[in-house]
Amino acid sequence: MKFLANLTRMLIPAPCFLCGANTTGESGLCASCLLGWVPVARAPRCPQCATGVAMVGLLCAECAQAPPAFDCTHTGQDFNAATRHLVHQLKFARQPWVLPALLLPLVDQIERAYPAPRVDWPQALIPMPIHPQRRQARGFNQARLIADQLGRRFDLPVLGQAAVRVKASAPQSGLDAAARRKNLRDAFAVRQSLPAHVAIIDDVMTTGSSAAVLARVLKQAGVRRVTVWVLARTPRPD
Ligand SMILES: [Zn+2]
Ligand SMILES: [Zn+2]
């Protein structure tokens, strides 16, 4: 029933993904939830890891002290109650139709960050790999779904097999950044030659540990610049 409701969403009102009010909105969000979903004014973020900072162009303390192996991050928005709900729907409730709504803020941020002619534009997208066992359990890799959409939107190739997860690491939640990096050691391998500038695509950047470890492996394989594009960024607790 839910599937049908979503198929016919454009013709017949269906519940808004966030508040349940009836809507025919193409994104699946009602007008009031859509308001502010794509921020009109963007708060300044660290150019390297996209955490909130006091001033435009300012690196956060962590990136200034111990820069991660990736060079630049863009996020659609903060990971908050609404994005958490939709990401959960996407990953665990198998509701891929929430993806267009989740992508709106990121696509907007990419358009803002790279005005034409696009400078510092990546040459290919690399979805954050998940271990084959997890992929099998979930049925898909959400990062691949996101990368495919962005690839189509921005006419960029998606290298879905270029980087693979070779070690099933323990779940990252509950670990601090150092423990996360240790947990991820030897987790990734590169399986094909890569262009000089790639963008890692993921749903949520929490501490940035996974992206940092993958970026290091990509650079060891010859990549010179690594950008990260994520739907949402977990705010630092301070
Ligand atoms: Zn709503
Ligand atoms: Zn930073």
Per the listing, tokens 């094909």 go with 192
* 3 pLDDT above the threshold of 70: no
Q: How far is the CA of 28 from the centre of ligand 1 (A)?
A: 8
Alpha-carbon Rg for the chain in angstroms:
18
Could you say which ligand is closest to the alpha carbon of residue 37? 1
For residue 174, the model assigns a pLDDT of 76
Q: Report pTM.
A: 0.91
Smallest-distance ligand from the CA of 57: 2
Domains (range + CATH), the chain: 1-35 (no CATH), 41-233 (3.40.50)
Over residues 62-113, the pLDDT tens digits come to 999 999 999 999 999 999 999 999 999 998 888 888 999 999 999 999 999 9
Nearest bound ligand to the CA of residue 15? 1
By CB atoms closer than 10 A (0-12, 13-18, 19+), residue 186 is exposed
